[in-house]
Chains A and B, each alone.
Chain A
Amino acid sequence: MTEPIIEITNVHKRFGHVEALKGVDLTVMEGEVIVIIGPSGSGKSTLLRCINRLEEYEKGSIVVDGIPLDTNQNINAVRREVGMVFQSFNLFAHLTVMQNLMLAQTTVRKRSKEEAEKNAKELLEKVGIPEKAQSYPSQLSGGQQQRVAIARALAMNPRVMLFDEPTSALDPEMIKEVLDVMAALAKEGMTMLVVSHEMGFARAAAHRVIFMDEGQIVEEAPPDVFFVNPTQERTRLFLSKILHL
């Protein structure tokens, strides 16, 4: 954990009349794993999507790996370094798993077919489903699809991985297989920002837990502090609602 890799300064975003982000400041260090929690509408997904410019913001600045998110060129450059995993997987339905993993490698990173294939195979091993290389997404279970999605994002060798509620659309018995992959990734030192409700993961793998509410960061602390002794009343309230065991 050395250099700051993401610097978010005073970001404001509105959707029509609704202000989704009201001045968010956040610095993410390289290798940090941050889990963001909060009620729906708190702006946590929006914040994540601002980092790779899937959402535009009106005020403030975001700098990723030294590149500001201003021009189209810079945005594309940032997107190469930032991988994203979506709640609904968003695998390319008309391509096989293998092709899914190889497409961006060949078209964006301009790798040769052989190199891309080799990388893809390794990543499939890593996420635990090498036998599904020639299958189509529709032939996979939800957990398998999400693991492929993670592999697809990793195939680009990003500096940062964003996870937008990666397990929220999964059946309970498939959540663990995906969290295991994420935990292994965290152990390897990947910089990760995860929006999730999986507190177990947060406790086990996060360096920092952030609570967002109504477009602002309310509290942030390492998990052992955050879950045991939150300082803000709103945090306490939220935690009491979701930690029902």
Chain B
Amino acid sequence: MEQQEKNAPDRELSFVTGGEVNIRQDPWWWLVIAVIAIIVLLVMVAPVPFKEIVVFARSGILVTVLVTVSSYFLMLILGLFGGLGRLSKNKLIFGISSLYVEIVRGIPLLVQLIAWYFASPVAIQKIGVWLNFAPLIEYRANPILTAIIAITVCYGAYMSEIVRSGIQSIPKGQMEAARSLGMSHFQAMRYVVLPQAFRVILPPMGNEFIALLKDSSLVSVVAVADITRKGREFMSAHFNPIETWLMVALLYLVLTLFAARIVSYIEKRSRHDR
């Protein structure tokens, strides 16, 4: 019985749930392969400029992935604390988290990136002067680190709201049952509420990753040599905007499509009613 079920999945549903990882059963993997095939085709058929672009942008790809993945995991942690803070009965904690969310959500990421890149060294230097602490006075912004912090802080605010609403979506009865069994608030959250909330926020979490991946192109504005910046450098050196931006778009597309497949795989694996 079970064997049959696996081999003949409900085609309609597999689009929604992401289906099996198996290519036979998840058509969306074909899209990833197709885009990779287009890139390979371009590189082979017209190595000038396409192969050159890919080779030149290599380090940029690494930077983009590094910035995206680092910011993502850091903002998950920030979002968890922010979300819990937004649910706190402690007025101070609630106030700080709410302020954080409201302010950060009200400013575009680009502006925040620029603010961090330019304002933080000034602030740190001023603190250095005030404390008369030499290393701080000499501080120079490390662009990648600053960019990661900026993105983390920005996306963390949105993640806080996702976490908060995820936790709130878990029926109160779950917490009540856990508490009535003698579990502490912390234990109830850790073993009962948060695991269930996690499954609820998994889809938006996946979304945020993909959005973050694309937003990471903004770091090119603050001296981080990501794919976009590399593309810009190549294009201006060779005067070929169309080809360059086409390849850059394809590179981003591969990354986001691949990430989307991973996300839906994780979602599928975490479903517990199979």
Establish whether A and B are touching in the complex (CB under 8 Å). Answer: yes
**Residues of A that sit less than 8 Å from B by CB:** 52, 54, 76, 79-80, 82-84, 86, 88, 90-94, 103-104, 107-109, 136, 138-139, 149, 152-153, 156
Say whether A92 contacts B174, CB under 8 Å: yes
A116 to B183, CA, bound (A): 16
Say whether A138 contacts B273, CB under 8 Å: yes
Q: Which residues of B158-187 have CB atoms within 8 Å of chain A's CB atoms?
A: 171, 173-174, 176-184, 187
Say whether A108 contacts B181, CB under 8 Å: yes
Say whether A94 contacts B181, CB under 8 Å: no
Say whether B272 contacts A136, CB under 8 Å: yes
Say whether B182 contacts A90, CB under 8 Å: no
Q: Say yes or no: is B199 at the interface (Cβ < 8 Å to chain A).
A: yes
- Which residues of chain B have C-beta atoms less than 8 A from A136's C-beta? 272-273
A24 to B188, CA, bound (A): 31
- Which residues of chain A have C-beta atoms less than 8 A from B178's C-beta? 92, 104
Interface size bucket, B side? 20 to 34
Say whether B182 contacts A104, CB under 8 Å: yes
- Which residues of chain A have C-beta atoms less than 8 A from B272's C-beta? 93-94, 136
Say whether A107 contacts B176, CB under 8 Å: no
The B interface, classified by DSSP as helix, strand, loop or mixed, is: helix
Say whether A83 contacts B191, CB under 8 Å: no
Say whether A107 contacts B177, CB under 8 Å: no
Of B171, B183, B195, B199, the residue contacting A108 (CB under 8 A) is: B183
Query: Distance (Å) between the CB of A52 and the closest chain B CB?
Result: 5
A103 to B196, CA, bound (A): 15
Say whether A86 contacts B173, CB under 8 Å: yes
Give me the 6 closest cross-chain CB pairs, A-B, nearest first: A90-B177, A104-B181, A80-B182, A90-B173, A84-B180, A79-B182
Say whether B180 contacts A76, CB under 8 Å: no
Say whether B199 contacts A94, CB under 8 Å: yes
Say whether B177 contacts A92, CB under 8 Å: yes
Contact status of A94 and B173, CB under 8 A, knowing A153-B181, A156-B182 = no
- Which residues of chain B have C-beta atoms less than 8 A from A52's C-beta? 180
19 interchain pairs, CB-CB under 8 A: A76-B182, A79-B180, A80-B182, A90-B173, A92-B191, A92-B192, A92-B196, A93-B174, A93-B196, A94-B272, A103-B181, A107-B187, A108-B181, A108-B183, A136-B272, A136-B273, A149-B177, A153-B181, A156-B181
